[in-house]
Chain A
Amino acid sequence: MSDGERVETGLVRRLLPEPEVAILFLAGLAMLFLGVPAPKAIPLMVVAVLLDLEHFSRTQELAERLEARSRPLVGWILSSGRVQAAVGAAVALAVGFPDRQTWPSTLAVSLVGVAGVWLAYVSPPAADPGPLPRSGAVAWLTVFLSLAAWELVNLFQQPDLQTGSFDHPTLSVLADPVLDVRLWRILFVGVWLALGRWLLGLRE
């Protein structure tokens, strides 16, 4: 590696110390280019920038202070079945009963989404499980990247980026007729909530 390459790598490492930041930012940027509405794409970029700023400021200390202050509240939310059931019921009502993708569901899903990200930010770190076996990690990465690639292949086969194709349906196009049915919509928003709870539970 030449000195120039070494300097460049060091600069990239300093500016983007963690790959998740770049992935989030690029995902948001790609969505904007693909015509995803700005309110769905820009939050990812904002979160990425805020995370990156942590490395250049004193916000790490802020995060630790927030974590200490929020510990009782986080513990209460994550351990209280009643709170989670109430949130689940409220979101199911807001998503299931009005027509699909109207303001009540947007508000409910946005609030729960922000709460999930906040809980992730302030919840205490768990023990590092250690590195994964390389072959297994590569296998999972291959599955996720293949799924993403196949989704993109089908997206670009559509007549245009906003019009679904019957011959080359994306997962969103396949989900549309299912989520148009109230019962399925309530079931799948329950699955989404359970997934979020499971992910947060991995840190407990």
Chain B
Amino acid sequence: MSSHDLTIGVYLLLFAIGLAMQVRASASSTIPSLAAVFRRIMRTRTGRVAVMSAWAWLGLHFFAG
């Protein structure tokens, strides 16, 4: 396995773990859904602005010059 494949494999593994947690969240009382996590972070004005700033940054990073 090349370094390239390993790097992509770890990304895929982490995304798969996140996806599995999200799917499991509906049937589990210990694993919250991603929506619940963000709802908790965004309960304050600071959290709300911080999350939306991170979202805006992602847009700038990938689409802006």
A residues sitting closer than 8 Å to B (CB atoms) are 18, 20-21, 23-24, 27, 39-40, 43-44, 47-48, 51, 54, 63, 95, 100-103, 105-106, 109-110, 112-114, 116-117, 119-121, 123, 125-126, 128-133, 135-137, 139-140, 143, 146-147, 150, 154, 166-169, 171-172, 174-175, 179, 185, 188-189, 192, 195-196, 199-200, 202-203
Contacts and interface: CB of A to CB of B under 8 A. Distances in A.
A59 B38 CA distance: 25
Contacts of B29: 133
Contacts of B8: 169, 174
Q: Give chain B's interface secondary structure class.
A: helix
Interface of B: 2-4, 7-8, 10-11, 14, 17-18, 21, 25, 28-32, 34-65
Given A109-B60, A167-B3, A102 B65 contact: yes
Q: Give the 3 A-B residue pairs with the shortest CB-CB distance, closest first.
A: A113-B56, A101-B65, A20-B50
> Which of B37, B39, B59 neighbours the largest number of chain A CB atoms within 10 Å of its CB?
B59
Contacts of B49: 20, 47, 51, 117, 120-121
